């Protein structure tokens, strides 16, 4: 599993996961920066084309895109959903908690096209 972090996540999350040996990309990196501020269908299409799992808080929009594709029997990227409630953006500890949770998920990825990321306690 090769995650692509949506733009609500700071690039340090991808950097820390890369330092742990994971193939993780961020929309804030040079290869994906063109997607910053673009419409969700374009981000979704790039994740699919690049074989990446999309990590996002935007559950309703990406879930709708995935459901539509599944209904048309089209391939879909894996979606890894988080919430601001589980990983509050305003807290200093959130980056570390997010890195730990994604590291654990990537070490033993479950099957499925939709995953909900939980903090590791």
User: Residue 120's pLDDT is what?
Assistant: 86
Q: Please tell me the predicted confidence (pLDDT) of residue 53.
A: 97
Q: What is the pLDDT of residue 107?
A: 95
In this prediction the pTM is 0.94
Q: What angle do CA 67, 88, 63 make, to 5 degrees?
A: 5
Helix axes 59-71, 40-49, angle to 10 degrees: 60
C-alpha count within 13 angstroms, C-beta hemisphere, residue 23 = 6
Half-sphere CA count of 95, side-chain side, radius 13 A: 10
Q: What is the mean pLDDT of each run of 10 residues along the chain (121 residues)?
A: 96 97 97 96 97 96 96 96 91 92 95 91 72
């Amino acid at each position: 599993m090769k995650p692509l972090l949506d733009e609500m996540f700071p690039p340090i999350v991808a950097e820390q996961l890369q330092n742990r040996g994971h193939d993780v990309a961020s929309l804030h990196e040079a290869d994906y920066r063109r997607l910053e501020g673009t419409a969700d269908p374009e981000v979704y299409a790039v994740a699919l084309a690049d074989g990446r799992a999309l990590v996002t808080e935007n559950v309703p929009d990406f879930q709708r895109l995935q459901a539509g594709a599944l209904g048309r029997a089209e391939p879909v990227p894996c979606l890894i959903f988080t919430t601001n409630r589980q990983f509050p953006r305003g807290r200093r500890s959130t980056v570390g908690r997010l890195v730990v949770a994604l590291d654990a998920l990537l070490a033993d990825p479950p099957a499925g096209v939709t995953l909900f990321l939980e903090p590791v306690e």
